[in-house]
Every structure is written in C-alpha cells, then in structure tokens.
Chain A
Amino acid sequence: MRRRYREELRFRSYGVAAILFAITSLCVLLVSIVTEAVSAFSRHDLSIDLYLDPAVVDPSGERDPEAIRANVSAFSDLIRGELRELFPDAAEDRDLRRQLARMVSTLSAEEIAARVARSPELVGSTLRIEAPLSDRIDLYLKGLVTGQTVWEGVGSADVLKTSEVIEIRSQGAFSEAYRALADRLADEAEGRKQLAGASESAIVRADERIGALQAERTKLASLGAESLSDIVRQSVIDEGEDLSALSRIAGRAEASGDVQTFRAALGSAFAKRADDANREADELLARGDAFQRKALEAEARGEPNAETRRIQARTAYLAGDRRKVDATRFEELVRSASDLDVGALAATSSLLTSRPLSPLGRVVGSANEDMLLRSVKEVNQREIAAAEAAVTDQIARIAGIEARVGTLKPVAPERAEALADEGLSAARSKLRRLERDLAVLKSTGVRLASPVPAVSAGDDPAATNPIIDDAAVLAPNAAVAPSAVLFDLTEFLQTEAEAQLGLDLGGAAAAAYALGRFEGGAVGAEAELRALMTARLDRELEKVRADKLRLERKRDRDLKAAADLLSVAANPSAGIVLDDFSPTLLVEIAGGVVKAQRISESQVVGRELIPLSSDGTFAGGTWSIRELLVPEADRLVTDHQIVWADQLMKEGDIVRQANTSLLTHADSTYPELAGLAAGLAGSFWIMLVTLTLSLPVGVMAAIYLEEFAPRNWLTDFIEVNINNLAAVPSIVFGLLGAAVFINFFDLPRSSPLVGGLVLSLITLPTIIIATRAALGAVPPSIREGALAVGASLPQTVFHHVLPLAAPGVLTGAIIGLARALGETAPLLLIGMVAFVADPPESMLDSATALPVLVYKWSSGAERAWQPMTSAAIIILLIFMFAMNALAVYLRRRLERRW
C-alpha cells in the first residue's frame, strides 16, 4: 500500500516538474532578453556647447541650407575641436587625437548639420548639442565592457614626477590591488602549466609517429619491386590525377624511348584544356546573354536591379572572352605539341616534375644546346633577382621583430623572450637559408658564363654534362625552359595543378615520373623508386622531428613562465610589471589619472593619462585606485578613452537619456544610430496586405465550407488540404513566394506586397479554422428560425449567423495576424533581408520587417548589437502581446454563451 502511495506521489511530481520546467524556460527566456535589452533603451550623448563658427560651417557666407546640410565634415570638425579643447594634452599625439575623435559616433554630426540647415540663423551662435557617443564608449559607460574594482586610497601618498614617469609611494596602500593582481598571476601560472601538459602529450604522440616512420623506413629496404611500385602508384593516385598521369607517361617515354606516346598525351592534355576553356567560355557567354536579357526585362519594367544585371552580363562576357583567348592558346599548343622535338619534350617533362633535366635530355641534339643554355641563364638571372629580394625582405622583417622585442623587454621581459625565442630565431634561420640559396645561384651564374663544351648526341648517360649539371644545381628551384611557349604552358599546368588538385609538384609528379620509368623498364628504376620513397619518409620524419622540437621548447617555456609567474606573485617586494595584456590599474590622484606600469605593495610607477595638477603629498581619502579587469588589448575601448569618458561624465558633459532613435531611425550599420522605424513601417504594410487579403478570403471560404458546401469528396479534399496547409512549415511558403510571386509573376523582390501575399497564405488556414469554429458554435436554432420565416440560405448566413459569429472570427483573425507578425523565415526567402535605409512609402518599395531586423541585428559583430537585438525583440513582443490581449479582451467582451 505504501509503495502504491509513493508511486502515486512520484507520478504526480513528474507532472509538477514538467510544468515547472516549462514555466522556468519561459522565465529564463524573458529575463535574459529583458536584462540584455535594458541597456539599449538609454544611450549616452555628449552634451556640450558648440560655437558654430561661420567661417567653418558656412564658408560661402550665403546661409544656403543645402550647402550647410552637405557640409557635415565641418560640423564633425567642430565637435572634435571642442573635445580637443577639453583634453589639450591629447592634441599633441596623432594616435591620441584619433582615439579622441572616435569617442563620438561617426555620423552624429549629420543630425546637427540638418538642424542648423533648418534654421540657418543659428550660424555664428553657440548651440547646445547632444551628439551620440560611439557604441563602444556607450557600452563602457553602461558597464558592459569591463568589470571594475575601486579601492579608496588609505594613508597619504607621495607623488614624484619625472619627465618620463610618475612614481607614487604610499606605505602598504597598494597591497590589496597588488594581491588581486598576484592572484590572477597565480591563475595564469596554472593555465600555463596546463598548456605545458598539453604540449607534453603532443610530444609523446610525435615520438610515436617518429617510431612508426622509422619502422616504415626500415621495411622499405626489404620490399620487393612489385609491392614497392604498388605503394608508389597508390600514393601517386592519392595525390592527384591529371599531371601525375602526364608525368608518368613522360617517365615511361624516357625509359622505353617511345616519345610518340608522350607527345600524344601532351597533345591530348592540351586539347582537353582547350575544350574545357571553350565550353566554359560558351557557358559564360550564354550566361552573359541571359543576364543581358534579364537586364532588358528589368529595365522594361523599370525595376531597380537592371543595372546590376547589366554589370553581371558584362562580367560574364569579359570572363567568357578571356576563356576564349585561353582556348586559342591551348589550341595552338595542341598543334605545336605534335611538332615538338625530343629535346623540347624532355624539357617539358622535366618542367612538369620540377626535376633536373632527365637523361632523355641527354640525347638532345646539339641543335638545342644554345637554346637550353640561354634559358638556363635566363632562369638563373631571374632566380638571383628573386632571391636577393627575398633576402632584403627578410632582413627588414628581422629588424621589425627586434624593434618589437626591444619595446617589450622593459615591460614584459618574459613575453619579449618568447618572441625572441620563437619569432626571431625562426626568422634568422630562414635568412641563413635564403643567403645560402643566393650564394649557390650566384656561383652557378658564374659557371654558366664560362664557355660550355659541346655535347654530342648519344653520349653515355652517366657522362657528366655541364648544362645538365647546372640544371641539377638549379633544381628544384629553377625550371629549365626550352621556349617561351612551353614555359608559359607548363607554368600554367603547374599553377593549376597546385591550385586545383592540391598537388605537391616536387613530390607527386616526381614520384609519378619515376613510376613511369619503372613501368617502362628503365635500368635502376627500382632503386630510384626506393630512394624516392625513402626521401619522402625522411622529409616527413624531419617535419615531425621539427614539430617535436618546437613542442618541447614551448613546453619548457610554459613551465618556466609558470614558475616565473608564481615567483613574482610570491615576492611582493619585487613588484609586478603590467602590460597591454594585464588588467589596467589606474591611480586617480591630484586631479589626474596615472596608469600603472609596475606595482608593488607600496609603490606604483606609471605614466599620466590625464596630467596631474601638481606633485607632492596627498592625504588618504583624496585619491583612489581602480582596476579595469579586462586588459586593454582585449577590448575596443582604450585606457585613454575610458578616463576621458569618466572625466566627461564627472563634469556633466555626458548625459544619459532615452534612446529615442530606436524608434525614429531606420536601420544603420552603426548600432548607436540604428532604429526600427523602417522595420515597423515594413511590418505595418505587410500586415495591411495580409489583413485585407486573408480576412475576407478566409471568412468567405469558411462560410462556404461550413454553411453551403455539399458533403462530397471535393469538400473533404478541401478540408484535408486546409488542415495540411496549417501544418506545412512556413519556409515552404517562402519557397512558394520565391518561385511563384517573384520568379513567375515578377513582382518586386523585398516588397511588402509579396511579403503580405506569402503571409496571408500562411494565415489563411488559421482564419478559416477559427471562423469555422465560430460559425459552428452558433446554435442551429438561429438558422432554423431565420429559415422558418422564409429567409434564403445566404440571407440566413449573412444576416443572422455571421454577425453572431463575428467575435470569434475577429479573435481568430487577430491571433493569426499576431503569429504572422512574428514570421521570419518566409520573408528571408523573398529577399527582405536586404539593407533598407528608408521606410517604404508604398507596397512596391523595398522593405524590411521587424522580425527580420531582429534576425539581422542578432548577427551583428559588435557587442552593441546584442542589446539592440533584445530591445527590438521586446518591441516585437509588446506588439504581439498587445494583439493577443486585444483578442482575449474582445472574446471576453463580445462572447455569448448559448
């Protein structure tokens, strides 16, 4: 029995828990949005007296409203000038001036200009203006940028002012701030230790990988020729098709002497490219035609997108023409491929594989010798120039890093060390490598300049040949080009291979080449393959080893940093150095603000953000310490801007007031100026269309189904249809709108008309179902009474039943409209997300809607968009709840019970 009661209780508690869960979710939703929205309903304005200097505002002196309105920059200059007067020390430095100017919203001058343009007699007078602050400063003042801790200054403080720094001494007064910082350092040390742990496990993994690679390398030596070639073939196939195939054929040609196949393959490769280019060109041209046609149609109807279409058409035509040129080039190459002599083919194959001129090249007749030499020289010159440029670049980069290390050293020695360790050493080793390359290239150049002994055809492949040797020295950096055409072509092939196939040319193509040689039965090809694979494994090994080394150094550095941080935190007398990445510590003393650069328990050393009036000794309670928890590097408001904003706030130059622009402004790319006016107007038009379409149609359809329709399959079908439409996802209606209203009927995109049409289709089933319910609730006695006195069926319905059902119909319609007001997805599909700067004036203008603005703003990058989105949601919800409340009220008020 007790068990049954317990069970009963448990079952009951499930129900309570379920309801509580639902209610809690609703509360969390509303609370999180409301708390986020609160800050958007007010904003901070800079409120100062502005002298409207006629010489600046109206240089022509004609008081022409249009000229004044257009002269926005003059007004923003005036505002900036005013700010600079308030903070004269900021005027010295360019960076500070820019920070100061950015405190005020970029376009705030526009409204002032408009105001003065309306009453030009204001020019020359002093005007009290209220200019919105930029969103970041606004957020800071609302406390959304950084948390703060303030400590009253206890005990007297001695201020020592030198030319560079300010030193403030006070026995023990800084200990609390110091300890807070030290705690954070300890936290950071803990984080560093964790990082070191992560590095450690990565090192273990690297070790395993090294072991595996080494095992593979040993295994390679014992592999048979066939399985070896299989491995290579697999890796070649894995890495890409086009070029590898060509390289393989080249290799086979070289091994078997069958040049014809290679020639044919090269020819067909070009032919394929020519085909591609031709096809692409045709497609592009056709696309251009289509756009051109659309442009015409759009223009004929006076739609605004005609110009866009025409530009699209032009772009397509241009691209098509370019591809046509490509195609002709390839066609030429197809023709020349069949004429290429052995030497050119050899050069091509070596170009493809980026490897030294192959032994095939050694059968080159002396006819090509000069040409080869020339090209090698040319390439050599180019390479030298490029290498020299790279060396100069690298030297400049190193100098830059050194400068950065120098500036970091005094403030953050450990960070500077890390930079020197990681960045500088890497840069230096790269420089060394570049210099070595340059030296090799130069020595080759010297050798090339000396006369070359003749090469005779059919030389022993093993015999040395200066050109080949030089080419070997150049490789793999230098490509040897027998002719400009070929050079062009192979360069194209290579870039395409790299871009499209993600092919590492040196690796895959060379492997394919060697594989081809093996397949062609070349002597020693097996050894070559083996060497190749070994080399690849070695490269991989080298990479993993380098990774491991890097990880080890990182781990050691992290461990050291953790130890350092802990020792600093444990040693109060030494003090902590603060940089951009630590919390900001401000001392407000003597009418100025000092930013701490080093802090110990009884001393702060820093620089002035706002100049102190004097130095000397200040009594306890007259000064304070403030910590901004978010480091300067992690926020968009600088320390300077923060102290300026605080100063302005203190002096009453910044006022906080209701954010009226939220309702009066249209959308903007600046959160502090954006408003919902356009969205409200758009939603209004959409609702108007929806109401005028869906209410009459819905009510009439419901009347037909409920009162007139005969019971037959057609009526059943309509009913099933309506029930289904009520459950079809709204986005499908959006698809319908895009395909039918926009694409087929060519109604203007993003217009309230199309939006209203789509939403009225969505609302229709709701209204029909509600109306039918309301009609069904009217008792049959009413109908029978009317019919009994001789009224026709339509008379009965329209004179007696419908008036009685009206409250229910109205309630249903309002609820349906409220739901349509919140609908977003279908509106996105018919283009209502476009940026709309002005409220629409008719049903055919581009418009946006309230929920769409919510969606758009929610993806805004700046932090200020979040409160704005929440505020927009609140306004949307207010409208919806008002509509629902109206429906409930009407139902209560007009409802009749039978």
Chain B
Amino acid sequence: MFEQIAHSRLAVGLLAVLAIGAFVAFFLGRRRAIGIVSGKTRDLHSRPNYHGYLVALTFLLPGLAVLAFNAILGEVLADRMALSRLPADIASLDPAAKLERISAAHELAERPLSDPFALEGETIDPSVRAYAGLAAEIRGQVKLAAVALASFLSLIGLAFALIRIRRELRARNQVEGAIRALLMICSGVAIATTLGIVLSLVFETARFFGEVPPTEFLFGLKWSAQTNIRPDQVGSSGAFGAVPLFYGSLLITFIAMVVAAPVGLFSAIYLSEYAGPRLRRSVKPILEVLAGVPTVVYGFFALLTVAPAVRAFGDWLNDLILAAAPWLEGPVIDAQPTSALAAGLVMGVMIIPFVSSLSDDVINAAPQSLRDGAFALGATKSETVRHVILPAALPGVVAALLLAVSRAVGETMIVVMAAGQRAQITPDPFQDVTTITVQIVDLLTGDTEFDSPKTLSAFALGFGLFLITLLFNLIAQRVVKAYREKYE
C-alpha cells in the first residue's frame, strides 16, 4: 500500500489543494471579519481583505514549509532509513557487489507500480527485489507522513488564524510586515549570489591549491592542464603555471583597448561637444546596437572575416619586410589562422560603445560653467575640451577605461572562437595565444568530475578573473562616485 503512495503524486496534489485552499481561506477570513462587526467594516482596524490575506498566509506557510523540506530531503531520509534495515543477504556481500545491489534496488524502487517490477526478459535477483519493495515502502511512509504533517499544520494554522480575528486585530500591519520580509529576502539574493560565487570559487580553489602549489600557479610559465595519474610521472605531467594565460588575457585586452579607447573617447567627445541633437539621436542607437550584439556573434565575425584578413595582412607585411631586408632569415611574422590581433580587434569594436557611453556621461557631468569660462577666455572648442574638460573629467575617463578593461578581461566567446589554444608568452600579436576565459571554457566543457586538478584549476582561474574584475570595478566605482560628488 505504501508502495503505491511512493509512486503517487500525492505531494503535488497537496500543493494544488493548498493553492485552492488559500483562496478558500482568504474568503473565510474575510467573511469572518465582516461577520464579527456584523457588516460595519468601518469598525475593523484593518479592511476585511487584509484579514483574508492574513488567514490565507497563516494557512499556506506551514504546509509549504513542510512540503519544501520533504522535496529536498524526503527521499534521502527514506533511503537512509531503508539502508539501516538492509536485509542480511545483501549486507553480507562484499562492498562492490553490495553497492551494485543497493543501486539496482533503488532504481527498481523508482519505477512506478503500474509496470511490473521485472521488464520483459529482465531477471532480477530476489534479494534485490525484496529490498526494492522495502525501500519503496519506506519512501511511501515518509511521503505520507510529510503530507499528513503538512495538511495537519495548515489546518491548525487556518483554525488559529480564524480564531484570532478580532475587531482590533492589526491584520494590515502583519500582512505588510510579511511583504516587507519578502522584499528584504529578495534583495538579499544579490548578497547570496556574491556569497555563492565567492564561496564556490574559494572552496574549489583551495582544493586545487591542495594539489598544486600556489607558487607554481602564480609564477609557473608552463600551462598544460592535464591530470597526471602518478605524482612523479615525467613525460606527460600537467603543468599549471598560469602566467601565459594571464599574459594572453592582457595582450588581447591591450589590443582591444588600443582600438576602443581612442575611438570610444573621441566619439564621446564629438557627440557631447560638437554634434547637434539630431546627429546624437541617430548615432547613439547605432552604438547601442553595437553593444547589444551577442558576443558569440562577434566571435563568429572574428573567425569568419577578421582572422583571415589579419592573417593575410601579416603575410603581406612579412613579404614586405623580407623584400626590404633580404638578409633576414625565414618568416619574420609568422601569422597564424587565429591570432591575438584578430580577437583583440573585434573585442575592441565590441567595447567601443561601452567606453563611449561611459565617457559621454562623465563629460556631460562636467559643469557648464567650466566650458563657459574657457569660451569667455577665447578658447576654441578643441582647446576647451583638451585643456579644461578632459583634465576635469580625467578621473571619470580613467574609471570608464578601467571598467572597459575589466569587461575585456572577462570576455569569453570572442577569445574562445578566435584567439587560439596555445599557451605561450609572445609579443607577436600575429601569434595565437590563449586566455584565462578560454581555458576555463576548455576545462569545464564536456563531462566534468570535480576531483581532478584539471577541473579544479578552472575554478582557480575563475577566482583570479573574479578578483581582477572586482578590483577594477571597485576602483572605478569609487572614482566615479567621488567625481560625481565633486561636481554636484
């Protein structure tokens, strides 16, 4: 009988009942409140609807809490109870066989009763079958207990809330208190997320550093993330020196900033100081489109158009240099199919709107009086911008650039698709390099086990990335805030 309960959708059913019940409770509470003052709702402290809400809440919460607890822990609890009553014929087996039997039994216990325990042609060990029956039985018992407890508590809550209704009950204040608590919990999600990020990264990073010394990770020059089975294996041991990855990220970020900083800054200056309102209105959305294109699209663009062009350019440059200096040996520029330059250029284009809109804000925030003063002294517009506005806005511009850098360092898809895989430290932008983000994706794509340094190293890299971006963001935000306050 309990087996049937185990396979029934009893808990889901109760959830539906509770939902409908909440409506009923609402009307019950409302009616009772009106009844108490015999229709003269003006005498109530709170409007009847609030009494209804309060009753519905008191009805709903205990039941929901029990059901939630059951959903998370119920089956684990049941299976543990079943294990403690493991039949002797299974318990006496050697560990591997025992585990096998238990897992088979638990799998059996999952199956609904409607199809018989044994599928056609499938033979099941009788001891497994017996134990599976037991497990299903216990699961049913636990489930039934949870459902019974939930219904009981909800009914108690309903009765309690109904009895509590008085003329002077401050129902509105209580409901509003509940709402306020809910709102507070919601805004706590942000903290929980940050906490989750920090904890998971720190935890896994600590595990990683338990296997690979931090000095190797921070100062090692060789990256080849492999798991070596034997500690002193010579030929194919993994190397976890992250310097080449950080270098790759920095190189690509540098190239991106070389593109994005002047273009973004100059377009911001032009839009805020020179352009008329009509031009502004038409150009700004175009820049926003640039910001809205998904990065995977930029990545494909880099792969399809930019990387071949960069390679052709590199080869052309190489021929040019060799023609001018025939005494040089071999290729001077050995352009690769995917290169730091291609990824950096496209990333630069992606970041332009970021830089331009942030600098636009900053430049606009510079007070008009500065401009007027400069103009009054006979300065031209460009002189005003260069000698007055930019120096005044410098902290803000620097902050904007910092934010752009942090964004570029954390950008993933473009580099995954167009930067290559080779962990190397080279000043040549025509070579392929790999970055922190590329390696994270590489290490965690596919079926991953959380117990090898190879997988864990991704978290160490992620932690490094998180720290870098966090640092840049905090500095930038502080600078922007100070700057705003200065001119407000």
Using a CB–CB cutoff of 8 Å, the interface residues on chain A facing chain B are 4-5, 7-8, 10-12, 14-19, 21-23, 25-26, 28-29, 32-33, 36, 201, 205, 241-242, 276, 279-280, 283-284, 290, 292-293, 295-296, 299-300, 302, 305-306, 308, 499-502, 696-698, 700-705, 708-709, 717-718, 720-725, 727-736, 738-740, 743-744, 761, 764-765, 768, 792-794, 818-819, 821-825, 828-829, 831, 833, 851, 854-855, 858-859, 866, 869-870, 873, 876-877, 880, 884
Taking CB atoms, residues of chain B closer than 8 Å to A19 are 267, 270-271, 283
A–B pairs, 6, beta carbons within 8 Å: A7-B380, A8-B381, A25-B349, A280-B229, A739-B450, A794-B179
CB-based contact A36/B304 at 8 Å? yes
Q: Apart from A300-B107, A302-B110, A697-B186, what are 13 other A-B pairs with CB-CB below 8 Å?
A: A36-B304, A276-B230, A292-B99, A701-B190, A709-B187, A724-B477, A729-B410, A731-B412, A731-B441, A738-B444, A743-B450, A824-B412, A854-B296
A725 to B197, CA, bound (A): 10
- Residue B209, interface by CB 8 Å: no
A642 to B446, CA, bound (A): 40
Taking CB atoms, residues of chain B closer than 8 Å to A734 are 440, 444
Taking CB atoms, residues of chain A closer than 8 Å to B235 are 499-502
CB-based contact B296/A704 at 8 Å? no
- Residue B194, interface by CB 8 Å: yes
CB-based contact A724/B194 at 8 Å? yes
Q: Which residue in B172, B176, B194, B410 is a CB contact (below 8 Å) of A731?
A: B410
A818 to B292, CA, bound (A): 8
A793 to B173, CA, bound (A): 11
Beta-carbon contacts of B172-205 to A below 8 Å, as 1s and 0s?
A: 1100100110111011111101101100110110
Using a CB–CB cutoff of 8 Å, the interface residues on chain B facing chain A are 79, 96, 99-100, 102-104, 106-107, 110, 172-173, 176, 179-180, 182-184, 186-191, 193-194, 196-197, 200-201, 203-204, 229-236, 262-267, 269-271, 274, 283, 286-287, 289-290, 292-301, 303-305, 329-330, 349, 352-353, 356, 380-383, 385-386, 403, 406-407, 409-413, 416-417, 437, 440-441, 444-448, 450-451, 458-459, 462, 465-466, 469-470, 473-474, 477
CB-based contact B305/A721 at 8 Å? no
Taking CB atoms, residues of chain B closer than 8 Å to A280 are 229-230
CB-based contact A8/B380 at 8 Å? yes
CB-based contact B445/A26 at 8 Å? no
Taking CB atoms, residues of chain B closer than 8 Å to A738 are 444, 448
Q: Which residue in A18, A25, A721 is a CB contact (below 8 Å) of B194?
A: A721
CB-based contact A731/B286 at 8 Å? no
CB-based contact B304/A866 at 8 Å? yes
Q: Which residue in B234, B267, B473 is a CB contact (below 8 Å) of A727?
A: B473
CB-based contact B189/A705 at 8 Å? no
A499 to B191, CA, bound (A): 52
A794 to B46, CA, bound (A): 14
Assuming the contacts A501-B235, A822-B295, asked whether A205 and B103 have C-beta atoms less than 8 A apart, the reply is no
Among B183, B262, B292, B466, the one with the most A-chain Cβ atoms within 10 Å of its Cβ is B183
Taking CB atoms, residues of chain B closer than 8 Å to A10 are 382
Assuming the contacts A500-B234, A823-B294, A884-B292, asked whether A858 and B300 have C-beta atoms less than 8 A apart, the reply is yes
CB-based contact B286/A825 at 8 Å? no
Taking CB atoms, residues of chain A closer than 8 Å to B100 are 292
CB-based contact B197/A733 at 8 Å? yes
A649 to B359, CA, bound (A): 58
Taking CB atoms, residues of chain A closer than 8 Å to B329 are 201, 205
CB-based contact A723/B230 at 8 Å? no
For the complex formed, measure the closest distance between the CB of B281 and the CB atoms of chain A, giving whole angstroms.
13
Among B293, B381, B437, the one with the most A-chain Cβ atoms within 10 Å of its Cβ is B293
Taking CB atoms, residues of chain B closer than 8 Å to A300 are 79, 103, 106-107, 110
Closest to B180 in A: A708
A11 to B390, CA, bound (A): 13
CB-based contact A792/B176 at 8 Å? yes
Q: Which residue in A15, A703, A723 is a CB contact (below 8 Å) of B266?
A: A15
CB-based contact B187/A296 at 8 Å? no
Among B298, B407, B448, the one with the most A-chain Cβ atoms within 10 Å of its Cβ is B448
Taking CB atoms, residues of chain B closer than 8 Å to A721 are 190-191, 194
A718 to B186, CA, bound (A): 11
Taking CB atoms, residues of chain B closer than 8 Å to A290 are 451
Taking CB atoms, residues of chain A closer than 8 Å to B193 are 725, 736, 761, 764
Taking CB atoms, residues of chain B closer than 8 Å to A12 are 270, 274, 381-382
CB-based contact A22/B191 at 8 Å? no
CB-based contact B292/A11 at 8 Å? no
For the complex formed, measure the closest distance between the CB of A4 and the CB atoms of chain B, giving whole angstroms.
6
A173 to B269, CA, bound (A): 65
CB-based contact A729/B96 at 8 Å? no
CB-based contact A33/B477 at 8 Å? no
CB-based contact A854/B287 at 8 Å? no
Assuming the contacts A22-B267, A700-B183, A701-B187, asked whether A870 and B300 have C-beta atoms less than 8 A apart, the reply is yes
CB-based contact B286/A15 at 8 Å? no
Taking CB atoms, residues of chain A closer than 8 Å to B287 are 22
CB-based contact A16/B270 at 8 Å? yes
For the complex formed, measure the closest distance between the CB of B246 and the CB atoms of chain A, giving whole angstroms.
14
A26 to B352, CA, bound (A): 11
Q: Which residue in B191, B204, B466 is a CB contact (below 8 Å) of A717?
A: B191
CB-based contact B300/A33 at 8 Å? yes
The 8 closest A-B pairs by CB, nearest first: A729-B410, A15-B270, A822-B294, A11-B382, A739-B200, A18-B266, A825-B412, A704-B183
Q: Which residue in A21, A26, A722, A819 is a CB contact (below 8 Å) of B190?
A: A722
Taking CB atoms, residues of chain B closer than 8 Å to A723 are 473, 477
CB-based contact A855/B417 at 8 Å? yes
A607 to B371, CA, bound (A): 82
Closest to A14 in B: B266
Closest to A240 in B: B234
Closest to B436 in A: A731
Taking CB atoms, residues of chain B closer than 8 Å to A739 are 200-201, 203-204, 450, 459
CB-based contact A11/B385 at 8 Å? yes
For the complex formed, measure the closest distance between the CB of A127 and the CB atoms of chain B, giving whole angstroms.
37
A4 to B459, CA, bound (A): 55
Q: Which residue in A5, A18, A305, A736 is a CB contact (below 8 Å) of B262?
A: A18
CB-based contact A701/B186 at 8 Å? yes
Assuming the contacts A725-B193, A761-B193, asked whether A854 and B300 have C-beta atoms less than 8 A apart, the reply is yes
For the complex formed, measure the closest distance between the CB of A876 and the CB atoms of chain B, giving whole angstroms.
7
Q: Which residue in B297, B353, B381, B416 is a CB contact (below 8 Å) of A22?
A: B353
Taking CB atoms, residues of chain B closer than 8 Å to A295 are 103
A5 to B385, CA, bound (A): 14
Taking CB atoms, residues of chain A closer than 8 Å to B416 are 825, 855
Assuming the contacts A11-B382, A19-B270, A876-B294, asked whether A729 and B409 have C-beta atoms less than 8 A apart, the reply is yes
Closest to B290 in A: A26
Closest to A305 in B: B447
CB-based contact A764/B189 at 8 Å? yes
For the complex formed, measure the closest distance between the CB of A716 and the CB atoms of chain B, giving whole angstroms.
11
CB-based contact A8/B382 at 8 Å? yes
For the complex formed, measure the closest distance between the CB of A247 and the CB atoms of chain B, giving whole angstroms.
17
CB-based contact A704/B187 at 8 Å? yes
Taking CB atoms, residues of chain B closer than 8 Å to A824 are 294-296, 412-413
Among A5, A305, A731, A819, the one with the most B-chain Cβ atoms within 10 Å of its Cβ is A731
CB-based contact A732/B230 at 8 Å? no
A832 to B464, CA, bound (A): 24
CB-based contact B286/A23 at 8 Å? yes
Taking CB atoms, residues of chain B closer than 8 Å to A880 are 292, 294
A700 to B473, CA, bound (A): 25
A379 to B466, CA, bound (A): 63
Closest to B408 in A: A729
For the complex formed, measure the closest distance between the CB of A85 and the CB atoms of chain B, giving whole angstroms.
41
For the complex formed, measure the closest distance between the CB of B140 and the CB atoms of chain A, giving whole angstroms.
16
CB-based contact A25/B102 at 8 Å? no
CB-based contact A736/B186 at 8 Å? no
CB-based contact A825/B441 at 8 Å? yes
Taking CB atoms, residues of chain A closer than 8 Å to B180 are 704, 708, 794
CB-based contact A724/B182 at 8 Å? no
Among B234, B264, B353, the one with the most A-chain Cβ atoms within 10 Å of its Cβ is B234
